Structure 1
Amino acid sequence: MTSNAIEARRLTIRRGRKTVIDRLDLTLPRGAIVGLLGPSGSGKTTLMRAVVGVQIVSSGTVSVFGEPAGSAPLRHKVGYMTQLASIYDDLSVRANLAYFARVQGVPKSDVERVIERTDLRDQADQLARTLSGGQANRVSLAAAMLGSPELLVLDEPTVGLDPILRSELWAIFRRIADDGVTLLVSSHVMDEATRCDRLLLMREGAVIAVTTPRELLENTRAASAEEAFLRIIEADTAKRDSVSKRLLATRPPPQDRRGPEGTKR
């Protein structure tokens, strides 16, 4: 059994003429909460879709537990929670989960397990349209947990929630991780970095740092995760500018080629 949950090798993803992710190499171990952090548009969702196997890849590879992302052996090993709560408003919480269990071929008895694990006992018979935003997110999380997947890919699960609801969700994530499940959780809220075991910081389709919360603060000498991330961006910008200047310095000047009569060709 491979010790890594996710491996990407020279992963490249393009949309039209735009390169969204360029030759990315990545290795993530099992059994941790991995925070995928970065501003909106940095490529977080694209990378997560590639890990789940629903993103067209231009070149390179992505594997999960040693299998190609999206392949049949991973069907019940990977759970995916999208940014928007994917539930039916006219069904109760329990009915929603029972439906998703049937679709996935999961025993109906698993519904009660995920209701318990996501603290939805009091809302189990409530219609989805009457739920708060945090409760609806927990139903989507419960649906992703059906079948006891070994990897949960959660795309900005706390977006739009107040600090109390975000804290409640992160407490659930920690309990899930303590059971041995690997979580890949994206966010653009930098203070959530301290709740993770490992961090991937993304910018403009590239991973600019792989670290831990403690190393992030120590190496940048910052007082907060947000300040640390800004310092890393500043360092990355300076590095890119330096590379651009070197490339310009080594590029030969354009030649003014003229024809025999002195006219430009």
Structure 2
Amino acid sequence: MATILITGANRGIGLEHTRQALATGDTVIATCRHPESAAELADLADKYGDNLRIEEFDVTSGESACALVGRLDGTPIDVLINNAGYQGPGTWNVEANFQALGSIDYDIWRDILEINLLGAMRATEALKDNVAASDRKVIIMMSSDLASIGRNTIGTTHSYRTSKAALNMLAKGLAVDLEKEGVTVVALSPGWTQTDMGGPKAIWTVEESVTNQRKVIAGLGLEDSGKFYNLQGEELPW
């Protein structure tokens, strides 16, 4: 069985990854900013006991990252899922104004970049040795279909798009950096999913999205490192 560390594990896609991994017998290190208020994770801890470890981790804080590394004390991590993300206030149905040309909210844009891009790098830099010490050695950058430059035909959503496109570049660069360690780094789009972020009109339920993601992750090897996939295992254009 694998050990999986998930950032932003208290809700949405991260919480469902936690549920499904535990159900198959994996060990999960579920991280979030406020474990004390993560009621659904607490319920899972009651059910699965030592197979679930809940840890405080704010991906915007270097101090928080260092503290997590110290508590993990070299624990091997087979799969690191950099899931913690932010698209700004609201869902896709109401968020357009602050990301649209002519009405950009630059403070929100900075927050989005801090979490989606710098946060993923901060987590990876902190935990890369734990990943390299494992059997599977996989790092997932949770990207988006909206990150594809080649598929951008409608514009808008500039803040979120640019954060995830930059994350894709980071995934590619880290794949090169970590190749000698045998670590696979992949950008993975979860599809438009019915989370608090995606809204109720999204195409995929959370359960469907994560089930498909897990199939893709299970099949990854070094030959996939530095690539960008969707939840159906199709390679996406940058």
Normalised TM-score (structure 1): 0.31
Tell which structure's C-alpha radius of gyration is larger: 1
Larger relative helix fraction: 2
With CA pairs under 8 Å and 6+ residues apart, which has the higher RCO, 1 or 2?
Answer: 1
